[in-house]
């Protein structure tokens, strides 16, 4: 029952402000060190830090997304569950992801994990478990449009 899965990215535009300020701070840092081109060094530093934070901290989420794109839904569920558990234990990382992960995502990693687990179960044909995870998402994140859409699709 696999399908071409689209990736939804919702951006919290206000989250770009602290990221912009951090980039400015890095440019200022390189300026203080008398680097030949502080804006270039600052932006490269920003990109490297951003890449490292978004690659290594949510590694289970990233692995799950890669597996979903390969239609390996059972394996992806395991990684999304680990991602959810990690961000429950380290809620502050997820809550302040705009600063801690330099992420401008409007969705938390916990919400993404739960909805992705629901999606995986739906793709595997297990509508009961898919519904369970979409409902769990709505318990924690009542405004989750993806969970609402998932439940509506399961009801049809």
Domain assignment present for 5: no
| Distance between CA atoms of residues 110 and 117, nearest Å | 11
Residue 133's SS3 state is: helix
The helices-and-strands tally (H runs, E runs) of the chain is 9, 0
Give CA 45 to chain center in angstroms. 22
Give CA 104 to chain center in angstroms. 9
Domain assignment present for 117: yes
Residue 12: the pLDDT is 78
Encode pLDDT of 81-102 as tens digits: 999 999 999 999 999 999 999 9
Residue 7: the pLDDT is 61
| φ, ψ of residue 83 in degrees (nearest 5) | -60, -45
26 and 83 assigned to the same domain: no
- Give the domain range for residue 32: 12-56
């Amino acid at each position: 029952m696999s399908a071409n899965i689209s990736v939804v990215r919702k951006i919290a535009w206000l989250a770009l402000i602290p990221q912009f300020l951090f980039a400015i701070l890095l440019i200022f840092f390189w300026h203080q060190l008398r680097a030949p081109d502080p804006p270039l060094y600052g932006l490269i530093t920003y990109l490297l830090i951003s890449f490292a934070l978004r690659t290594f901290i949510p590694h289970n989420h990233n692995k799950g997304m890669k597996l979903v794109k390969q239609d390996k839904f059972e394996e992806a569920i395991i990684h999304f569950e680990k991602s959810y558990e990690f961000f429950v234990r380290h809620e502050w990382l997820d809550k302040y992801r705009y600063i801690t992960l330099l992420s401008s995502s409007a969705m938390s990693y916990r919400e993404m994990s739960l909805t992705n687990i629901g999606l995986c179960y739906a793709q595997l044909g297990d509508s009961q478990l898919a519904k369970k995870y979409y409902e769990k998402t709505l318990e924690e994140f009542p405004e989750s449009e993806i969970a609402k859409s998932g439940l509506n699709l399961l009801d049809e």
